[in-house]
Structure 1
Amino acid sequence: MRPFFGIAAWMLCIAAAVPVWAAEFPLYGFDQAGSSRELSLEQTFLTLPTAQGAAQSIAALTAHSRFDGSWGDAQSARWLAERLRSFGWQTELAAFPATVESPKRLTLELLAPHPVRFELREATAGADAGIPFAYGSPDGDVRAPLVYANYGSVSDFAILAGADVAARGAIVLLRDGADSAAQAVRNAQAAGAVGAILYPDPADDGAGRGATVPAGPWRPEGSTRRLDVAARSPLRIPVLPVTPAVAQRLLQSIAGQPAPASWRGGLPAPYALGRGGSVHLDVVLRRRTAALVNVLATISGTEPGTAVVLGAHRDAWAYGAADDAGGVATLVEAARALGYLYGSGWRPKRSIVIAGLDGAETGAGGAVALALQHQLPARIAAYIACDTCITGARFEAGASAPLAGLLREITAAIPDGGGSTLSARWHGATGQPPRSGDAAVFAFQAGVATASPRFAGPFGVDGSALDDAAWMASFGDPGYARHRELAQIIGMLALRLADAGSLPQRWSAYDPVLEIGLRALSLSVKRNDLPLDLQPLRAAVRDFERSAARADARTAAGSLPDANQLDAAAALIAHGAAEPINVIYGGGNQILPSIAAPLAAGNEGRVEWGLEITAAALHDASNALERPTSSISPLP
């Protein structure tokens, strides 16, 4: 069966098709009395988060580097736990084991034509920021000629082969950014390379985009991006990130025909196709098992079997102001305000948990421990993510479809400081939940409804020691007003989700998404004359849409049990593959990914499997929504 090109474009999740609900009374999921109480409570809440408090939290968190397992990482856990405890939250440190790596020996030398031993530290980094390295790189000591391979895609290596430039036996120099670093290195490995050097090109996040630090938000040539290249199938070749300044000297050592125009970046170097001078790359990492820590702070609900979790990660590659001290600071402001309400007598129906996660930079270990290994005694009703959530002033958001309408309603209640509301300033559609990082574990593996509101802007210093408090104060959020507004949004989401009689999720929001997916699938099957029976899938979709409408009506009446919704969300995660699959949302904004992905690859047998598991998951979700009460244990 041949691959069917173009299917990914047809399977794009057109998020704008998800309807937007206007404000209503009574509030969705509340009765009239509950709505009045809730609106009054929310008006009080909005007055409590402050920009000054966020600035103070970021200053405290960025005082030290916080890489996983470091002293600064542990200190941030103690600081956050003490801070949340002072607001009246019940706080614990929940440990989980993780492999921690750090550089033992990193060497990069150009041996010919002119010997150079390169400085690998960033130009302006503090001593505790360490030397940039690639987490998950194997050890290796290699000497080989250098080959430039653009972003390291499969097509890039095909272009090299077509130009009679062999990557086999070479150390490849790659621009970091078009694909995941791990995938680019796997491609290099498959092409026979013996080592990989990655660098951020100024055309992508440096001077080619605008003014660089300290004059602007983009990356200067003395800064690089630390990398996570750990993979399910471990790499076999050593990997090292370097600065653009180092990459420029390496590029200048390669002679050959000019590279294609799309390969040429922003450095004053030839970007040639050829085998350059000999390079010595030596990578040796220390590895140990450490106990990393999630900080979990709880306001207990009157029905504590379910919890709304607000999460950000404390760890960072270095000082991590935007990634992710800003997220933690935002949650601290929301927690301070919620703690005040709790101290004044308010009691939520569902528990609310603030999660200061660890291990995010090296595989989302903290999210896995919380979402999949049940560090909480309660089932998680929703996860509100704040990961690299403030890098500018443009508001945007991703969310599981059932939460999209609630997110719109909340932003309509948040003043934007200019006489309008955030909703009026929010011109884009609600996208999918993030496909990477902590939020992805909840949305795509645990089956938890997830929302990720954020203020976006130019973030040229990702993964570097320049992501610090000075960058945030100068470029990310001068005045910290966006931190206050995001704390208001996240706290309001927590209040609405925790207080409602029934979880205020709109399951019918999946209808347009599923219809787009079905239409694209039907068109592809017809165009390619495939022997596929789509009728069972269509029947499952129609059954799910009818159940979703009835569930929404029960939610509006406050009579749909939480367990029905949580079981339905869990049912949409299919198991039995290499990893869990969300049958509605997939990578690259695919819809119905267990069908779309093998269809694009031409794997007919896998397409049949995808049709079966998707239909079965939709039927199971429908059954869960329809049950009068849940028959599934509280923790699956």
Structure 2
Amino acid sequence: MVDATLTTLEQALRDEISAERLKAHLEVFSRLFRDSGTEDERRAAEYIAERMREYGVATEILEFDGYISWPREGTLTVFDDKGGAQQIPVRTRSFGASTPPEGIEAELVFIPFNKPAKGEMIFSHRAVAGDYTGRDVRGKIVLTADGGPDGVRRAQERGALAHIHIWPSDEPVIHEMIATSIWGTPTRDSAPRIPRIPALGVTHADGERLREMCEAGTVRVRITSDVHTAWMRLPLVVADIPGSEPNTFLLVGAHIDSWYEGITDNATGDAALIEMARVLSKYREHLRHGVRFAWWPGHSTGRYAGSTWYADTHFMELRKYCLGYLNIDSPGVRETEIWDCRYNCGEIEHLTRAAVKELTGQDPNVRRPLKAGDQSFLGVGLPSLGAFRMLPIDHPDRKAVGGCGGGWWWHSPEDTLDKADPEILADDTRLYVTMTARMCVPALHPYDFVPVANDFINHLRDFQDVGGAHLDLTPAQHQADLFREAALRLREKAARVAAEGSDPTHLNAGMRALSRILNPALFTIAGAYEFDPALQLPVLPGLAPVQELATLDPESDDYRFLRTQLLRQRNRIEDALMQATALANSLAES
């Protein structure tokens, strides 16, 4: 329950949000093509910094070298058996390989793939493989709806010369995409995952015509691909509104770079941060914990390079003092209605759920974080929170895309000023400023770790049901039960501290430390100091391959290698739960 003082403040913050100011920011951004590493991106950063200083918010523009890939021109020529040729429009993919100037000529081979259902996001099917059964693609060019970095990898591993992605929904645009799964700047270990083959995209309609040709007989094509990949100097704007409590802060981020104008992906998010900073700076005396705003470069052409660099270079500060991470991407899209809250960790899901319910009347679909959208801080252990408004499933503009509220114009030249609605953007920003206030105004952090314990219990049970005969997870399950008991005691302790108005400094620090133990275990494989690939994985991703283990021959090398890997992941999860239980009990008893 939100207390009366906070309710009054929240209303004042919401009343301050101005649709006209938001519209003015969008008009500025509409004149800038903010590809990372360009002058327009830098102009956008300078514009934001000027606004922050105008509002009296301490601001700096950090700079770093990011590994950025610009897709440039590509061609696809289809030859017929009479010596004729036709050109099919294509777009190259960021981090795809370039061809020689004369291109590559080879047979085109279609690989079947189950497409997303209507209204599903493009990200939802990335873990599903195309069906290569009985198909030899060595020295050939693959045509498939098995897209994304994993689809390119599968084609490359099977010896294909190139990969052409058929878009799964029927909009008449080709979306800009990225072909690498590497999260942020590559390391020596991850750099080999940069694709070595060209990657192109075609529309659904053109892809279907090509598929029909492949099924009717042999098809030969020639492709060219020109992709510029290089180190580029990038600007990262950071603005701080400190609270009365030293050092602690909520991180609020939005990516500054975009494809083309990129109004609803993500000029609207950039404008929302500017307006939130303006309003919160007027009421800064009410903030117990500070707010740090960051505009990330390298989102689209560097696979979250900016937020990853920030996590790397500010790791210890984030680890020790940050309350959580609110990512804002693609708000304010015209005609959006449905709230989809897909980036929420268990300890703060109640905050998102309550805010959306109170401000919109909707019962939101609160889900755990996806591996997308600058979620670069789960390894650090930061609780993630977020809420996004989507087009209705049956809206004619809703397609299988990854942003823009589900709008078909995502990652295309059609993402223009008319796709945004300043009034909807103002309402969205009111929700975000309310969520921020509920994190930063109360003295006590609003965490509840019982849902986190339930996440462990439920997912460990599911994995045990599938693979328990091959990998015994009952010790980890037992430890998850013990952690839930400790989390319940900690919930009672927090309620007493809040009711008594006691100093929560020690409890806050302990709960932040608890999130640093739990979130890397729940949401990463690599852990705190590295970054998993940008592929969709379930909760407890380190244990997910136990489902595959159950299908393998127990006498095979593959089975024994995988079982060893899973045993180590089981130990990691059990150890994290043991540490978390001890800390939660200690905090509850202190």
TM-score clears 0.5: yes
Q: Find 1:275's aligned residue among 211, 218, 239.
A: 218
1:595 — aligned with what? 543
CA 1:495 to 1:117, structure 2 compared with 1: closer, same or farther past 3 Å?
same
Q: Find 2:87's aligned residue among 118, 131, 148.
A: 118
How far apart, CA to CA, are the structure 1 residues paired with 2:24 and 2:244? Answer: 33
Matching residue's letter, 2:566? V
Contact 2:95/2:229, CA 8 A, preserved across alignment? no
CA 1:537 to 1:256, structure 2 compared with 1: closer, same or farther past 3 Å?
closer
Deviation at 1:191, TM superposition (A): 2.7
1:283 counterpart SS class: strand
Matching residue's letter, 1:235? P
1:183 — aligned with what? 150
2:335 equivalent to 1:367: no
Q: Find 2:139's aligned residue among 154, 165, 169.
A: 169
Kindly provide the CA deviation profile for residues 34-75 of structure 1, in whole angstroms up to 9, marking residues without a partner as x: x44322211211211122222222222122211111222111
How far apart, CA to CA, are the structure 2 residues paired with 1:245 and 1:347? Answer: 55
2:534 equivalent to 1:563: no
Deviation at 1:169, TM superposition (A): 1.7
Q: Find 2:484's aligned residue among 517, 533, 545.
A: 545
Contact 1:149/1:156, CA 8 A, preserved across alignment? yes
How far apart, CA to CA, are the structure 2 residues paired with 1:248 and 1:589? Answer: 29
Matching residue's letter, 1:357? W
Matching residue's letter, 1:501? A
How far apart, CA to CA, are the structure 2 residues paired with 1:537 and 1:377? Answer: 31
1:135 counterpart SS class: coil
Matching residue's letter, 1:425? Q
2:226 — aligned with what? 284
CA 1:169 to 1:588, structure 2 compared with 1: closer, same or farther past 3 Å?
closer
1:451 — aligned with what? 385
How far apart, CA to CA, are the structure 2 residues paired with 1:155 and 1:608? Answer: 26
2:253 equivalent to 1:311: yes
Structure 1: which 5+ residue stretches go unaligned? 1-23, 28-34, 122-131, 207-218, 258-273, 415-421, 630-636
CA 1:513 to 1:285, structure 2 compared with 1: closer, same or farther past 3 Å?
closer
Q: Find 2:174's aligned residue among 224, 243, 257.
A: 224
Aligned 1:180-219 pairs, distance under 5 A: 180-200=147-167, 204-206=168-170, 219=171
CA 1:196 to 1:533, structure 2 compared with 1: closer, same or farther past 3 Å?
closer
CA 1:360 to 1:104, structure 2 compared with 1: closer, same or farther past 3 Å?
closer
Deviation at 1:587, TM superposition (A): 7.4
1:397 — aligned with what? 341
Deviation at 1:154, TM superposition (A): 7.7
How far apart, CA to CA, are the structure 2 residues paired with 1:442 and 1:174? Answer: 33
Give the paired residue count: 519
Kindly provide the CA deviation profile for residues 399-450 of structure 1, in whole angstroms up to 9, marking residues without a partner as x: 1011111112223442xxxxxxx1x223x431112321202x223x221101
Higher RCO (CA-CA < 8 Å; seq separation 6+): 1
Deviation at 1:332, TM superposition (A): 2.1
How far apart, CA to CA, are the structure 1 residues paired with 2:226 and 2:149? Answer: 18
Contact 2:486/2:584, CA 8 A, preserved across alignment? yes
Deviation at 1:196, TM superposition (A): 1.5
How far apart, CA to CA, are the structure 1 residues paired with 2:202 and 2:331? Answer: 26
CA 1:430 to 1:281, structure 2 compared with 1: closer, same or farther past 3 Å?
same
1:434 — aligned with what? 370
How far apart, CA to CA, are the structure 2 residues paired with 1:574 and 1:400? Answer: 12
Deviation at 1:333, TM superposition (A): 2.3
Deviation at 1:100, TM superposition (A): 2.2
TM-score by length of 1: 0.75
Structure 2: which 5+ residue stretches go unaligned? 115-126, 182-189, 392-397, 399-406, 499-503, 551-561
2:542 equivalent to 1:608: no
Question: Identity of paired residues, percent?
Answer: 20
Deviation at 1:372, TM superposition (A): 3.1
Greater alpha carbon shift after TM alignment, 370-379 vs 506-515:
370-379
How far apart, CA to CA, are the structure 2 residues paired with 1:574 and 1:397? Answer: 21
CA 1:449 to 1:532, structure 2 compared with 1: closer, same or farther past 3 Å?
same
2:65 equivalent to 1:109: no
2:184 equivalent to 1:236: no
Contact 1:389/1:453, CA 8 A, preserved across alignment? no
RMSD: 2.9
